[in-house]
Structure 1
């Protein structure tokens, strides 16, 4: 960029990449797709970087880009070609792996916006106001989407959530 802001952009991305990847993985449940979401997010951020000084909360702005990229992916995903991925060696089981796998599978069966709300609220521990800002909706919508998403998870899992998401 001609304005000399590349070093600030690079420093910001290096400082936030791990957190962005974690959030992306929590949203989609796939490491490769999470990498794609982060790449799309930082590419969009780079294109907007010269105007970024007008943004009040840069982290919230970037999370909003990430969440919208995830939701856009869900909307247009039906036409994308999925190439076969060679199987990776399974990691040694960690405590709670079965519960996380069960929760991840249940989350994929919840509508994308509800899934995004649940991930941001409970797995990323974001307040309602931040989630509303990221999704571009009202706080009331976030609350109702949370209630509907938790109800859907309860139906899918067949029992009250004991995995730490019930709040």
Structure 2
């Protein structure tokens, strides 16, 4: 699972099962502002399951996942925000077999999400939903890195690639503010 990367140690996932699974904590319940920043190296878009998760907060209920950074089978990376009544997001195509820096932010005050690839803002979208706060305690709530929160449940969505320098913030930040430097 650990891998050497140009940035030091990263997390490597084989696209079949597994992931880093973290129980839900109050500090992860971000609703007004959040930023996800990471370097990612994809070997394939989706190997098993409907998507491949980079970072995911949710539980076993379908479609009630407050936020995620996910890769779809068409090569689009998507930053998705979900409320109890629906979801919105921003997406952009990313290449295979090369390191890409991704920064995604959500701002409830401006009702917008932004997606940056390698330091450039590639997409801004109006977001009509706000991540909901509480996950269902009886539905295996948590945070997943490289998969959903519960890879033994029915929603296995494993990543086939490596993640390095993954960061989650409770504020809206730009790539330069999270330490992005090309290499």
TM-score category of the 2 structures, normalised to the smaller one: under 0.3
- Name the TM-score, length of structure 2 as normaliser: 0.24
Max Rg structure: 1
| Structure with the bigger percentage of helix | 1
- Structure of greater relative contact order (alpha carbons < 8 Å, 6+ residues apart): 2
User: Which one has a larger percent strand, Structure 1 or Structure 2?
Assistant: 2
TM-score (norm 1): 0.25
